[in-house]
Amino acid sequence: MRALIIGGTGFIGQHLVNHLNNPIIAGRSLKKIKNRSPGYEARQWDPTQSLGPGFFDGVDGVFHLAGESIFHGRWNVAKKERIRNSRVESTRRLVDGIGRSAVKPRVLVCSSAVGIYGDRGDEPLTESSRPGDDFLAKVCRDWEQEALRAQEFGVRVVLIRTGVVLGRNGGALAQMLPPFRLGLGGRLGNGRQYMPWIHIEDLCRIMLKAMEDGHLSGPVNAAAPNPVTNRAFTHALAQALHRPALFPMPAFFLKIVVGEFADVLLASQRVQPEVLDKSDFTFHYPDINSALSNLISNR
């Protein structure tokens, strides 16, 4: 099966490329694709524009991973519009393009996020739990609705509700490691919020399964089966680095430093990967200590 990865130049896409046989990479700039993934076939698409003809030629399955980063930059009105449009509107144009195309992919694996559940304390959350109603939850819900429209064109759609991805060379860990290495890390707020996380290798294996397993469709929680509180995560990371974590960041201070993004860091989602459990998926990194020791010892 030949795959096309939209947003393949990003943190997850760059890992996923290594799990696929001769994928095609799509993004806004051919130059960026050539720099990040030399030797791969590249296709250009600016998600603010309609898709041109021939975009799906030779493509069996599409991974849609593009989206404005939620981690970098302050969440002002313009940033929030980019976060939303680069997911919801881009997915609408992608699915419209599938509808118009004579050659259609068989499957669309679209990224989503555990943010869809909002802030839910210690309530166990499965794929059938109701969505939340904050900004990110609404973005995720609308993003998923747009992706699901591809079913009208006979395309199988899998929605990967991704937890915080732990991997090398980017993502959340790259932001956390510098202060923790200096012994300046600490819990966020009271640290009681659950933080669903996943090792990048397990996430790529879930994405491959989503592409290949014809029985899988709809939402899939991509989060390790043992979610931890932020306090437990802080402790595990400090231990893996052999450093203390003595500097908790109170919620009010976090809000001053990062603005509205603090709500994401303080939200609690105790997510369970029920669909994967039922489909006999085996996590290589089911607990936080094994994931961190793999990522930190091999750096």
Ligand X SMILES: NC(=O)c1ccc[n+]([C@@H]2O[C@H](COP(=O)([O-])OP(=O)(O)OC[C@H]3O[C@@H](n4cnc5c(N)ncnc54)[C@H](OP(=O)(O)O)[C@@H]3O)[C@@H](O)[C@H]2O)c1
Per-residue contact flags (x/-) with ligand X for residues 57 to 76, judged by CB under 6 A: --------xxxxx-------
The answer to whether the beta carbons of residues 291 and 164 sit under 8 Å apart is no
Give, for 165, the enclosing helix (H) or strand (E). strand 164-166
Residue in the block written with tokens 């995560």: 233
Contacting ligand X within 22-41 (CB under 6 A): 27-29, 32
Question: In the set 3, 4, 5, 11, which binds ligand X (CB under 6 A)?
Answer: 11
Tokens of 13: 């896409």
Residues that bind ligand X (rule: CB under 6 A) add up to a total of 26
Question: For ligand X, which is the closer residue by CB, 66 or 109?
Answer: 66
Q: Provide the b/e sequence for 17-50 (b: ≥16 CB within 10 Å).
A: beebeebbbbbbeeeebeebbeebebbebebeee
Q: Which stretch binds ligand X (CB under 6 A): 6-14, 186-194, 233-241, 279-287?
A: 6-14
CA 24, 224, 169 angle in degrees (round to 5)? Answer: 50
Contacting ligand X within 242-281 (CB under 6 A): none
Please report how close the Cβ of residue 161 comes to ligand X at its closest, in angstroms: 8
Does 137 sit near ligand X (CB under 6 A)?
Answer: no
Residue in the block written with tokens 């313009």: 78
Please report how close the Cβ of residue 289 comes to ligand X at its closest, in angstroms: 19
Question: For ligand X, which is the closer residue by CB, 175 or 190?
Answer: 175
Single-letter code of the amino acid located at 61 = G
The answer to whether the beta carbons of residues 290 and 197 sit under 8 Å apart is no
Per-residue contact flags (x/-) with ligand X for residues 151 to 190, judged by CB under 6 A: -----------x-xx-----xx------------------
Tokens of 190: 């009271």
How far apart are alpha carbons 29 and 14 in whole angstroms?
Answer: 15
Question: For ligand X, which is the closer residue by CB, 75 or 183?
Answer: 75
Instruction: Note the residues at the interface with ligand X (CB under 6 A).
Output: 7, 9-13, 27-29, 32, 47, 65-69, 82, 86, 90, 111, 113, 162, 164-165, 171-172
